[in-house]
Structure 1
Amino acid sequence: MPFPDGLHFFDSIAPIAPRHWDALSPDPLPPHLRHAYLHALEASACVGGHSGWIPRHATLWDGGRLIAAMPLYLKTHSWGEYVFDWAWAKAYQEHGLDYYPKWLAAVPFTPIPGPRILGRSPATRRQLVDAVLHQVEGSGMSSLHVLFPHERDLELLRDSGLAVRHGVQFHWENGRRATDTDDAGPYCDFEDFLGSLNHDKRKKIRQERRRASMHGLRMRWLDGRSTRDGDWAFLNRCYANTYAAHRSTPYLNLDFFLRLAAGMPDQVLLLLAEREERPVACAFFLRDDEALYGRYWGAIAALPFLHFELCYYQAIEYCIRHGLRRFEGGAQGEHKLSRGLLPVRTQSAHWIADPRFSAAVDDYLERERTQMGFYLDELDEHTPYRRAAPADG
């Protein structure tokens, strides 16, 4: 269905043709930005309604064609974002101002970096950002936030006056690092990966895998085509249990997982750990041709070291076996470093309407970026990988 030229906001992604949304990038869209993923969130009521995530997807049309888009929401809280601005909201409140609702360009509950400004050319992406900023500035709302954008998006956002914030995640790269005895290249198998680690980390991982294997579990990888409804019901049970253990309310539901499996079966993966053909734990992943993305895990029994086995070691083996370039382990978690995942800088961009608060946020972010640099340097000092021997002379 064509729309008039210019900027249009949608309170649902459903009216936009999936093939048009998914074709907006010069490169294949990662799974979490595809139409099927965003539509599954809306159709399952994980967003919209009283969730605090109100869809306002920004689209740009020309000659009846969709030429650019942005997954955009009005937020009435800051849950499910993984970039924390609670202190900013508190400061607004203390001065008698409303921080919520705010504008947010992000993928709900999904801290995976990737494009947030979709368009096949730099010119259309620039046009979309300019149009959205014009609308945001005139909306009377406190702020606009763009979370985990692609580097090319970040440059555009910075040029448009948004302040940049830095964070850190831990990713595994499928590439043997050159040492005095090895050549660089993708790993052949898990043992090859272990060989790139220093002695202590290699020993620790072997011990953890040996302890996990003593549970006598069978591991099965399933995609959306090979899973049954009962498999997704088990995942949902484990996912809800994990949130309950942390006294939190789960963001997603069974309907979402079922819709995702049906709508993008080749991009969802479920790892089941079974005993006597009965599942006792599972982990949920997304994937594309480049990477595996760790999302959720859970178990119905407390089994030592099973979390590391399902969420990291099995995932690394999967990447090696299928030739994927990296494994993204999700938000936070310094414990991932000793298991071969290295720190990667993540970024977000922020526009604050009130100039007084904007100046204070700019000052805060400058100091935070400096501290983040020190933190990343400190993490690099504790790399789990063997270091190359210094060159002779």
Structure 2
Amino acid sequence: MKTILLFLFFLFPAIVRGAEPVLVIPVSGAISPATSDFISSGLTKAENEGFQLAVIELDTPGGLDSSMRSIIRKILASPVPVAVYVMPSGARAASAGTYILYAAHIAAMAPGTNLGAASPVEIGGKPGNTMMHKVTNDAAAYIRSLAELRGRNADWGELAVRNAESIPANKALQLHVIDYVAPSLSKLLDALDGKTIETASGNRILSTRNARIVTLSPGWKIRLLSIITDPNIAYALMVIGIYGIGFELANPGFGLPGVTGSICLILAMFAFQFLPVNYAGLALIVLALILFAAEAFFPSYGSLGFGGVISFILGSIFLMNENGGVRIAWQLILTASLFSGFLIFGIARMALKTRKKLIVTGSEAIEGSMALSVEDFQSSGHVRMNGEIWNAKSLHPVKKGEKLKVTGREGLTVIVERE
């Protein structure tokens, strides 16, 4: 009886470990603040709900440096072992994905996948030489430190950063860049069974064979955030918001442009808090809006508007901080700037046309008008002008029905003479 109890005592931890599930966090697409939030919430769930392993199924072309580093910090601090598994076949862990793979406790790939091309780039724009040297050196040191922490190939990691090297799964395994090549998640979990993993809270022994798998699904908030935190989408929302509100202010009562513009502008401001915004660029865009408004209400025949367009272009270029690896696509900036330019050109053209039109109100409009005498009079009488009866004065006698020309006005009396 004692022997049976001892056997159950030693077997019980293994049973408990075997009961611990595995959390799968699927990540596909660019690494963004939404991705960071999703992975962070997944790892927190894994820690709080007793998962023995978190597997990030990764397929990404890269993404934001700030989001990537946030994910890596969460992985490094995780008390739950984290495996990054590049899958399915045809997937990749490029750019930011390579760093995340290097940071994981377990790095695995499916056959037919690749990783690398980890050279820093700016989304939507071309990097400057001096800044790129600094960013590249920083990135190389970062991936080397991750490689040394996990005991992986640091030299190849640096080549991936400096020379944009990229390799397939089998080559990555040969070069000791990754730990496993597995055709499926179940095969990977079988390979990991019984392995001891060192985490931030100590060593963990995995019991993953036949473990229950729970897949985490992103909520609507994460999906929405993944869309609007794209720097180009956020910029487009800002532009739509600005012109929607501007149109509503210029034409009160429409309603729809104002409501749409307000929603877009609020979403853009919400997205900007997750992006590396340069406030000097934002200030230039605000200045451009002020100049556009001044052109609309105090026409300068294009001079204020032209200054606004220049300020708008510069603000758009500098809106995103280069250190964050983000820049608005020049095609989008060009489109928005051309639209602004055509708008200002239209305002200036209307102002010039208005200036050339004849005056239709006041004393100046009356002078030169034609009037018709409604009675005979010597020096003063009444005439019909523009459908109205006016008091009139004349230096010459006037007969009823005679056509007269208005030469001036004294209060409510017009001065007339023969045509």
TM tier relative to shorter chain: under 0.3
Specify the structure having the higher radius of gyration (Cα).
2
Give TM-score scaled by structure 1 length. Answer: 0.21
Q: Between Structure 1 and Structure 2, which shows a larger proportion of helix residues?
A: 2
Larger relative contact order (CA 8 Å, sep ≥ 6): 1
Q: Between Structure 1 and Structure 2, which shows a larger proportion of strand residues?
A: 1
